[in-house]
């Protein structure tokens, strides 16, 4: 009888330990899942805080688009444009930005004829990085550019190196970091409509 009682107590202890370990494991897995969900889509740590000249972006975007396309500018300077006429520019702009953000935010830098750069994305959108902005803030850009890389993101340069950036790569990460800010809080601040 004593052996059965000891064996019963032993089984109860094993079940309690097993239950507590599973509970702890479930909590840890839930925390990992929540953390992953909170970080999806992945976004960079860099949140550029330099002033944004919306009027200059407006004039420059109008020039780049030859004044022939509708476009919207978000509060951190991201420009979305529309090759075909849209009725609701603001809603269409937000939808375009959401597509960039919720899929892989590929980017392509392009040097413009005025010496500025545009960072283009998978949808008709870009961020302008002005040559004056680069000159005035180069130390800031160079210091923070690696924080412009998203979690687990591997970007390959023309030489096949991973997450090694030349000057244009650093400028691109700066522009794209501003796009990420707009995508997380999409506020359209200015619209150009063709008539």
Residues 112 and 161 in one domain: yes
Which token pair is 193?
A: 């409509």
How many domains are there within the chain? 2
One domain for residues 153 and 182: yes
Q: Do 97 and 154 belong to one domain?
A: yes
Q: Does an H or E element contain 127, and which?
A: strand 125-129
CB atoms within 10 A of CB 93: 27
8: Cβ contacts below 8 Å, ≥ 6 apart: none
Cα torsion for 128, 133, 138, 140, to the nearest 10°? -90
Q: Tell me whether residue 47 is in a domain.
A: no
Show Cβ contacts of residue 166 under 8 Å, excluding neighbours closer than 6 positions.
Answer: 157
Burial of 49-80, coded b for 16+ CB within 10 Å and e otherwise, reads eeebeeeebbebbeebbeeebbbbbbbbbbbb
pLDDT tens profile 9-38: 655 566 566 666 666 656 655 555 444 456
Joined together, the tokens standing for residue 35 give 């953390």
Query: Does 143 reside within a domain?
Result: yes
Task: List pLDDT tens digits, range 67-98.
Answer: 999 999 999 999 999 999 999 999 999 999 99
Q: What is the pLDDT of residues 54-66, one digit of tens each?
A: 999 999 999 999 9
Give tens-digit pLDDT for 128-150: 999 999 999 999 999 999 888 88
Q: Which domain holds residue 31?
A: 1-38
Classify 120 as helix, strand or coil.
strand
**Do 81 and 138 share a domain, yes or no?**
yes
Q: How confident is the model at residue 39 (pLDDT cuts 50, 70, 90)?
A: low
pTM: 0.78
Q: Which strands make up the sheet holding 125-129, listed edge to edge? A: 108-111, 117-120, 125-129, 78-82, 70-74, 188-192
């Amino acid at each position: 009888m004593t052996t059965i009682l000891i064996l019963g107590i032993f089984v109860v202890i094993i079940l309690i330990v097993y239950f507590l370990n599973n509970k702890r494991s479930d909590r840890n897995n839930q925390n990992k899942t929540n953390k992953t969900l909170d970080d999806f889509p992945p976004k960079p740590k860099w949140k550029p805080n330099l002033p944004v000249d919306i009027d200059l972006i407006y004039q420059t975007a109008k020039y780049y688009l030859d004044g022939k396309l509708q476009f919207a500018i978000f509060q951190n300077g991201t420009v979305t444009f529309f090759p075909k006429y849209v009725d609701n520019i603001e809603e269409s702009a937000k939808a375009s930005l959401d597509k960039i953000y919720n899929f892989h935010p590929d980017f392509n830098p392009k040097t413009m004829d005025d010496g500025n750069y545009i960072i283009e994305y998978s949808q008709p959108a870009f961020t302008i990085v002005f040559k004056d902005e680069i000159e005035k803030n180069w130390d800031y850009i160079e210091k923070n550019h690696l924080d412009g890389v998203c979690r687990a993101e591997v970007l390959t340069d023309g030489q096949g190196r991973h997450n090694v950036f030349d000057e244009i790569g650093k400028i691109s990460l700066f522009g794209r970091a501003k796009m990420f800010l707009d995508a997380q809080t999409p506020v359209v601040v200015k619209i150009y409509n063709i008539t």
